[in-house]
Amino acid sequence: MTSDLPDLFADGRGVPLGSWIKMTGSESVEIAASAGFDFIVVDLEHSMLGMSDAYRHIVVASGLGLVPLVRVPSHDHGIVQRVLDAGAAGILVPHVDTAEQAEAVARMVRFPGAGIRGSGATSRAGGWGLRPRRDYLRFGNERALCIPQLESEEALRNAPAILAVAGVDAVLIGAADLALSMGVTAGDPRLAELIRSGLSTAEAAGLPCGTAVGGAAAATGAIAQGFGFVVAANDTTLLAKAATALVQQIKEAPAPART
């Protein structure tokens, strides 16, 4: 249940490491837990996963001590509400460019008084109606994470205002989409400078700023740079890399002598 989930940004935990989950099988979540990841992000934006898949991944992750986050595909109140009542610890929201958009999605996460989320206390997040209502409401208002993704020049320009929005708990800088929006490649110094400015803005606001990278070296570099959480892998690419490397090693090995 959500009440039993670890606090992802609690003092002393270190920099949390996560993986995107894009495959339907719950084995991906079990492997992530076994590997020692701190959280997963069920990716409803860039995968073919449906709500039932997300629900299953949330349940499995929760049982294994992983913090289950969900990247929703859009700024859709209905999807946000269903994901949270499934027991997700929070949401990542793509393409948040303005403070107004950030406020709108933050209000989707919080109950009235602070937001517009409807009560679904008979859901999994509410313990099927058995969890004390005050605990269900308190988790939604105090612990459920709202993490806008900053993925454009406009978003980075508006970062101070976005980070000042009540109910925003952290941000993630989407470097790939940011580069696309700028019309530059990943190594362009203008991109690096804009990312540094976003990171500095988050530090000044006292909120974690995350990033998504591929591989150990990039993750270590991001931590050294000061990022507060890192999505370091995804299940599909991990499988693809391992499979490709295996086949290449076998095919490129010298032919064994026949006996």
Q: Which residue numbers are catalytic?
A: 46
- Whole-angstrom distance, CA of residue 117 vs CA of residue 136: 12
- What crossing angle do the helices spanning 51-63 and 27-35 adopt, rounded to 10°? 30
- Asked if 87 and 59 touch (Cβ cutoff 8 Å), the reply is yes
- What crossing angle do the helices spanning 189-205 and 175-182 adopt, rounded to 10°? 130
Helices within 120-228 (DSSP H only): 133-138, 153-157, 159-163, 175-182, 189-205, 216-225
- Asked if 151 and 181 touch (Cβ cutoff 8 Å), the reply is yes
First-to-last C-alpha distance (Å) of the chain: 60
